[in-house]
Amino acid sequence: MKYVLITGGSRGIGAATARLLASRGWGVAVGYHQSEAQAQALAAELSDQGVPALAVRADVADSAQVARMVDNVLENFCQLDILICSAGVSHQGLISQIDENQWRRLFAVNVDGVHHCCRAVLPHMLERKSGSIVTVSSMWGQVGASCEAAYSAAKGAVIAYTKALAKELGPSNIRVNCVAPGVIDTEMNGHLTQDDLAALADETPLGRIGTPREAAAAIAFLASDEASFLTGQVVAPNGGLVV
């Protein structure tokens, strides 16, 4: 059996990934920060399916909290095969309107959070000389978006970090890959109006926005042994909007 920790696992893409991997018989630790009720309910749902599951709390921006979260997972599961860094926050607005605290929080969660989680799991993975890490970026991290400069910059950093870490950890048989979703029907895009979503769907070659399950499928593939010769790659489920 494989065991996975999914940060940002209580909602959206993270929750869809938890359900998908649990359906394949993987033990799942659902990482969350504020959505305790949702995380506990999801862990109970997965346990009812007969797989080991638990909810673990941490603000990924805080390295000490992340270390405790990973220790908790290892105490319960005894091993950790996969890390999926799905926790993230967004911001939309002119760059002149974002204040320093908002900028810092975007990078603290989206970039520092990935680093803290990787650092915390690596001693275990290095000891076993085995592991798979999947980060979650965004298509805007690949090409940038107007009125989302800070978010684009943070998600671009995640891609660069992923590629560099893959080169560093490859000799230890640890793979590091990234999923960069397009417009996905999640709470993070809840600020978009129906007209906004319709316009984005029209711009997308496939003519629609994506589902959390479709993004989860890309994450699950990269996490699995089926992607055993893939590392340092960016897979972009975006319906063809960014190529």
Which active-site residues does the annotation give? Answer: 151
Structure tokens at 97: 């309107």
Distances from the Cα of 61 to the Cαs of 89, 109, 227, in angstroms?
Answer: 11, 5, 29
DSSP conformation class of 78: S
